[in-house]
Structure 1
Amino acid sequence: MNKKFDNMMDNKWWQEIAVVAFSFTLFTLKNDWMLFSSLASILMGIFLYFILYLHAQFNRFFLLPILFKGQRPVTYLFLTLLTVIVFSVVLYEITTLEMFSKCHLYQNSHQRSYAYQLASVLGTLVCILSPIIVFKFYRIHKKQTDETLLFNQMQLNALKGQLNPHFLFNTFNTLYGISLEFPERTSDLIMKVSQLMRYQLESNNKQCVSLEDELEFINSYVQLEKERVSYRCDITYDSKIDNENAYKVSPMLLIAFIENAFKHGTCAIEKCFVRIIVTVENGLLHLHVVNSIPKKKTGVISTKIGLKNTIERLKLIYGEDYKLDIQDDKNTYIVDLKLQLKKFV
């Protein structure tokens, strides 16, 4: 029951419905709707409420950004006062129309006065905006809390994965095999391994790193995989950034999709391929990863935790500013990720 209530609290549509129901109830009680039996009066009352609701939404979407984003409180107060006057005049003029007089609304003389309409506009504005602002800050606070919890979990997972036995076994196996046949290449491979380890350690306590650092890490990882399986696997890696040293990204965010491609795409002796393309245009990052699916797979242990955590991180960090499309057929596995990067200030 509590989980269901929390889901309703997090849902913007349910929040909107709650605000409308709250403000509409106050509006009806204020005007003694329980005494009205005429359908025309009810429809007219709904029409008047719609005008009040429209005014509140205008303030919410056009004027509040001036206060919160533009940080200009004087301008906001002036424009708010101006719109209140305009909408109260509109309501007052409507109450003077002949068709309105035929309804049973506003029977008392003071309810037809301009002061009453002005108070209605102000009161409804407060009743609608107050819960909307409360819900907004509730969502912001919850998002920040979720991000903090996820970041702590990411730190724990990173610490557990720094000395991954499977990764180290494959890496040192590669180093040993190459050192026997091509000893002159050993030092370069050791450098690549040290870069991977160093990046994991240094980025462990960071929420954001430069995109170039993340791509350099990916490149080092791909080079190691080339040493391991390039004799039977066609590996392509290409990156293109329109504005270097301008963007930041959450560390270890992209590597999960690439690890997954090598892990499942090269798990057989047969010929295979892995293609990785990263492009950035106007801050929009596009990661395209394609790998072949072997017909005869060897046993690969997969918990899929890394992929699930990455998708969850994408949701919390980038919200609606990303698009992930995964296609899995009998021959290929395709990952298309698009996300809007943030710039360094």
Structure 2
Amino acid sequence: MERNTINPRIESLDYIRGFALLGIILVNILALLDINIPAPHTPDVSYQRFLYLFVEGRFYSMFSFLFGVGFYIFITRAKEKGKNGYILFLRRIIVLLAFGAIHSIFQPGEALKYYAICGFIVMPFYKVHKHINLALSVILLSWFGLMGDKLLLTFPLILLGLSVGQYRVFENLSQKTKKVFVFTAVMFMISLIGLVIQYSLIPHSPFQNMILYSEDGTMDQASEFLKMGVTVGPIISAFYVGLLLLLLQIKMVRILLSPLKYYGRMALTNYLGQTAFILLAGNLLFKSVSAITYMQSLYICLAIYVIQIVFSFIWLRLFRMGPLEWIWRIVTYWKIGPFLIKK
């Protein structure tokens, strides 16, 4: 008989959320600040290629997948407590949609509103059998991936997260090390093939960070390269997640990566905070500069990492959750819960 109880908190998910945030900001900053197309034969060229081989589309996929896992956990826990999980989740995604709508004023690549919209769509699938959800999500991921449409991938990634939640993959991971290893090895091999194909499409000259179509519907080499990146993105994301889960089984690694746990527990606050810090840096440090380089964007992100991770660690020593997470919870449950940690 399948067990119905979900552990109070699955820490591995916090680590993955924190890891996803590290990659998301590296791409989002390109849309928020005016970034120069790299000059040939400079470190900026190498960094641009690194971004589109190993970051772009990989961490967004991870974040979308985690939303689906969180959706399953949220409704299941609510039902176990005798509450109407669907009503609570509706309130939750309405608040998320509001956060996303405000955020989109500042961040053109904002994702929260799409998560909220997909949340409405995915709700009926909670009662669908896990095998069906898994099969449907894989089929849609393959279809939309071959189309090279990053936005369309959001729904099947969330549905995949829901099905993985139904399979309870993230519970008792220490007992599933062999299965995780096999999964990670398979994803590594497929990812390697995908990366080799994408690498073969790298344009000789630096490129704009968007897929462009000509009047007859054809694409240049840079666009083919970027489209292939979208296609293989979810596969590489799966490899990243599997590898991280394996590493977290090692105590020393878990301790070294513990800052990611705090970073991920405040994912909403830190995700929106990234935009605020980027815009602040752009206005204060580069206001007199017409555009910045790719490497300068990396330095800004590294500084934001330090600030946010230290802040998250200190904040969660004093409070139960992040400030925006607390507001989100209040509106979801229509009550003010405990916020301070009792000493």
Which TM-score band applies after superposition, normalised by the shorter structure? under 0.3
Structure holding more helix per residue: 2
Structure holding more strand per residue: 1
Per the normalisation by structure 2, the TM-score is 0.19
Rg (Cα) greater in structure: 1
Per the normalisation by structure 1, the TM-score is 0.19
Which has the bigger relative contact order, CA under 8 A and spacing at least 6? 2
